[in-house]
Amino acid sequence: MKRKVVVTGMGLVSPIGNSVAEFRDSLKAGKSGIRGITAFDLTGFDVTIAGEVKDFDPSRWMDKKEARKMCRFSQFAVAAAAQALEQAGLVETDPAEAAGAPRRIRSHAERTGIVLGNGIGGFEVVSESFRKLFDQGPRRMLPLTVPMMIPNEAAGNISLIFGIKGPALTQVTACASGADALGQALDLIRAGRVDVALAGGTEACVVPFSVGSFQMLKALSTKRGDTPEKASRPFDADRDGFVLGEGAGVLVLEAEEHARARGAEILAEFAGYGGTADAYHITSPDPSGEGGGRAIKLALEDAGLKPEEVAYYNAHGTSTEINDPTETRMIKYAFGDHAYKMKVSSIKSMTGHCIAGSGGLEAIACILAIREGFYPPTINLDRPDEACDLDYVPNKVQYGDIYAALSGNLGFGGHNGVVAFRRYEPTAGLL
């Protein structure tokens, strides 16, 4: 029998809230976090909007000196991990300690791992060092360029700050990175290599280099700079591209017997994962939906779920011309007739596309949906595309009983990652 894996903690930083409670309330309210870009001068840019994280103070979760040595994507990851570990009851806390003081995990550091997804790394320090290199020469480059820019920096800093000594791994599969990281962590726990794992994704690419690069791909929305909250409109006929976002979502995963033995509150079961590759195109998904559809089927099989047991599917839902109808076909491929009976929505309509951060944030949305019985809306869905004919929970939250929910993420390179969660039911006879 497979070792049952459960969720005992969640933490996040996002364009619609920097705590799970604020994120949940924003999802229910259909609140958009997309605004005009404030991070840099927009001279020469056609793209002027993004889902930026707001009011983020890294010193709430880490030492100020350490924070200055990290890129923003790593700061987001540490903040999300701190929240998740606190909820799980796995860190020592002392009210007398100064804000941001390091907090170590309570025990079994060698049996705790980290698997974090990241797509792009520290573009802000890369850009600045390139500028200094070309303008002033190599001796003026930032001394910490390498340890700040590399994608594994986030997992490494979580390990250092919290004293986690198991494997600290980084998954890089573009926009599927967060979902694939969760799947890799699931396998580590099932295999008995660790008992606890922090897993999810992080990204902070609202910087000139990445915004300019995506702009040159003609991938980003440019129509609604004056009404940014309406720009991300998955499955709507008037969509014109995705909106870049940023943030991090981290889950604490545990073997059920480990969580039960220490008396942890169990939030949900992480039941299954499916991963595939399209082998079709470097940026576009297979239009048949077969690649992503197989990932859904694999996740269902891994979880032991029947299609009709799934009430909610959190779609990748990027608001691009190609993705949305392709993902609709993908869902139909996997679920058959049940695709028309369940709810499907895209929270990217509110957060924008947070690249690797999406996998963690959207997994948390699924767990909240199961626990509190609500379907997050797809806002700005005013005129559905004829090719997108499922129930996408248009504009307003809906409520219902949710036993199981899936979340899918698709990445450049043809990567497909799907994770499955269900309501936790204790294993009989387990102490």
3-state secondary structure 217-283: CCCECCCCCCCHHHCCCCCECCCCCECEECEEEEEEEEEHHHHHHCCCCCCEEEEEEEEEECCCCCC
- Of the three residues 268, 303, 324, the one that is the final residue of a domain is 268
Residue 241 lies in a domain: yes
Indicate if the pLDDT at residue 240 is higher than 70. yes
| Known catalytic residue at 353 | yes
Residue 427 lies in a domain: no
- Predicted pLDDT at 101: 55
* 291 and 238, same domain (yes or no): no
- Residue 12 sits at φ, ψ, to 5 deg, of -160, 160
**pLDDT tier, 92 (very low <50, low <70, confident <90, very high otherwise):** confident
- Predicted pLDDT at 105: 81
* 289 and 250, same domain (yes or no): no
* 185 and 40, same domain (yes or no): yes
* 198 and 332, same domain (yes or no): no
- Predicted pLDDT at 93: 61
Residue 424 lies in a domain: no
Share of the chain above pLDDT 90, in %: 86
Residue 151 lies in a domain: yes
Indicate if the pLDDT at residue 369 is higher than 80. yes
Indicate if the pLDDT at residue 170 is higher than 60. yes
- Identify the residue with better confidence: 99 or 225: 225
CATH of the domain at 297: 3.40.47.10
- Predicted pLDDT at 76: 98
Choose among 329, 347, 340, 345: nearest CA to 393.
345
**pLDDT tier, 132 (very low <50, low <70, confident <90, very high otherwise):** confident
* 193 and 327, same domain (yes or no): no
| Known catalytic residue at 175 | yes
* 310 and 203, same domain (yes or no): no
| Known catalytic residue at 338 | no
Q: Which of 71, 175, 205, 388 is catalytic?
A: 175
* 174 and 317, same domain (yes or no): no
- Residue 78 sits at φ, ψ, to 5 deg, of -65, -40
* 252 and 375, same domain (yes or no): no
* 369 and 223, same domain (yes or no): no
Is the sign of the CA dihedral 360, 221, 46, 54 positive or negative? Answer: negative
Residue 139 lies in a domain: yes
What average pLDDT score do residues 4-31 get?
Answer: 98
- Predicted pLDDT at 383: 97
Q: Which residues pair with 272 in a beta bridge?
A: 420
Q: How high does pLDDT run on average in the chain? A: 94
* 203 and 319, same domain (yes or no): no
- Predicted pLDDT at 95: 53
Three-state DSSP class for residue 350: helix
Indicate if the pLDDT at residue 47 is higher than 70. yes
Over residues 276-335, the pLDDT tens digits come to 999 999 999 999 999 999 999 999 999 999 999 999 999 999 999 999 999 999 999 999
Indicate if the pLDDT at residue 183 is higher than 90. yes
* 46 and 174, same domain (yes or no): yes
What average pLDDT score do residues 124-140 get?
Answer: 88
* Three-class DSSP labels, 175-207: ECHHHHHHHHHHHHHHCCCCCEEEEEEEECCCC
**pLDDT tier, 124 (very low <50, low <70, confident <90, very high otherwise):** confident
In the chain, the number of structural domains is 2
- Predicted pLDDT at 348: 98
* 151 and 249, same domain (yes or no): yes
Residue 263 lies in a domain: yes
* Lowest mean pLDDT across 57-71, 250-264, 294-308, 317-331: 57-71
- Of the three residues 268, 294, 321, the one that is the final residue of a domain is 268
Is the CB of residue 5 less than 8 Å from the CB of residue 190?
yes
What average pLDDT score do residues 36-41 get?
Answer: 95
- Predicted pLDDT at 102: 54
Q: Which two tokens stand for residue 307?
A: 């299609």
Q: Which of 71, 205, 258, 353 is catalytic?
A: 353
- Of the three residues 249, 268, 287, the one that is the final residue of a domain is 268
Three-state DSSP class for residue 375: strand
> Domain limits at 340?
277-418
What average pLDDT score do residues 74-92 get?
Answer: 95
Q: Label residues 387-400 b or e (16+ Cβ within 10 Å = b).
A: ebebebbbeebeee
Taking the C-alpha atoms of residue 346 and residue 30, their distance in angstroms, rounded to an integer, is 11
Residue 426 lies in a domain: no
Is the CB of residue 27 less than 8 Å from the CB of residue 365?
yes
Residue 425 lies in a domain: no
What average pLDDT score do residues 209-230 get?
Answer: 93
Taking the C-alpha atoms of residue 427 and residue 431, their distance in angstroms, rounded to an integer, is 9
Q: Which of 71, 205, 258, 316 is catalytic?
A: 316
